[in-house]
Structure 1
């Protein structure tokens, strides 16, 4: 399907919306559109992920948001941790353009946003934290690539934190993270969403 949010150029008509949402006690304005994930509100999984991961981050962390979409996770973290550097990548060009605009309208400057299929165009290997609400509909292989290849981009002691629903493969993701990192903790479980974290 050419119009799925995990494709490079979703083939759907534009229908932009603009709305406000509070994340980590910061009210952000988002512009969204057809062809992006969760265009009407910040999805519940991303909200649970943010609440669980924020206390595990240092104030000046280097963070990578993989599959950033129009930016709710990465921009909320960048706004809450102004001394941090937040890098944001996605395969979807429409989502990335919105993400850039959302960074601008919220006056968030400590972000870098660029296209990358998983880690294909991510050169840095010194992240303190990698965070992802992975594109489940893109398939298990894509999700497991995000989990496995995170290891090489993290500093020792760095963390990978993801959100997945139990029915969307959280148990197999946990197994994969254990295999790659040798550890995996469930930070939170909420309405079927699991927040899983591994430490390098």
Structure 2
């Protein structure tokens, strides 16, 4: 059994490095990525993230920054930062290796509107956002995933939205119920090969 320290949601994964470089098209633009052992989906952008990015729309969002919660090596936050240079993108992860790679990938793609910092869920997050996007680390446990969803409400601007991708078999219906209880709304925006894209909006009470 793999040691807990090797999991991608550890602060310092105990891994033998095997850095890889590759490119991938997201939201109509090609990005260059460096990845390594000890991060999630190191060889390619995982399918759930692809579906989330293909579904997400910023058209009705309020002005303000976006948050990539659990950013890994950065495909969500960096693709949005590249597409929307007028918006500030904050990217957080508990994994120090992932953050190092995300910073390198920001440089590789000449992205200057992304700020990458360590945070265990919202521990060091102080701003409020027009949108929070997350592909949560299911292997970190239900408590972590639930916190990522329910505590988002305190970090959204009025009219701001939480966007989540989860597989049905990994608890998407339960997550939708938690989001509904927290926000009073939780839309199943899209389904693709067992992946659910869920959206909640912070509406005026």
CA distance in 2, matches of 1:148, 1:24: 28
The structure 2 residue matched to 1:176, chosen from 168, 171, 178, is 178
Deviation at 1:58, TM superposition (A): 4.7
Secondary structure of the structure 1 residue equivalent to 2:53: helix
Match of residue 5, structure 1, among 5, 8, 13: 8
Partner residue of 1:111 out of 97, 103, 114: 114
* Residue range with higher mean Cα deviation, 167-176 or 55-64: 55-64
Distance 1:106 1:59, change over 3 A: farther
Q: Does 1:149 align with 2:155?
A: no
Q: 1:127 aligns with which of 123, 129, 132?
A: 129
SS at match of 1:54: coil
Residue correspondence of structure 1 range 82-97 to structure 2 within 5 A: 82-97=85-100
The runs of 5 or more residues in structure 1 that have no matched partner are none
Q: Contact 1:66 / 1:90 at 8 angstroms: preserved in 2? A: yes
- 2:41 aligned with 1:42, yes or no? no
Distance of 2:64 and 2:166 partners within structure 1 = 23
Q: TM-score, normalised to structure 2's length?
A: 0.95
Contact kept, 8 Å, 1:187 with 1:196, in 2: the verdict is yes
Whole-angstrom CA distance in 2 between matches of 1:35 and 1:56:
35
Report if aligned partners of 2:88, 2:113 keep a CA contact under 8 Å in 1. Answer: yes
Moved more, 74-83 or 56-65: 56-65
User: How many pairs align?
Assistant: 199
Q: Which residue number in structure 2 is paired with residue 196 of structure 1?
A: 198
Q: TM-score, normalised by structure 1?
A: 0.97
Q: Is the 8 A contact 2:61 2:160 kept in 1?
A: no
Paired residues of 2:34 and 2:105 also in contact (CA < 8 A): yes
Name 1:78's counterpart in structure 2: 81
CA distance in 2: counterparts of 1:73 and 1:23, whole angstroms: 9
User: 8 Å contact 2:172–2:196 — kept in the other structure?
Assistant: yes
Distance 1:172 1:193 in 2: 13
Q: 2:104 aligns with which of 95, 101, 105?
A: 101
Unaligned runs of 5+ in 2: none
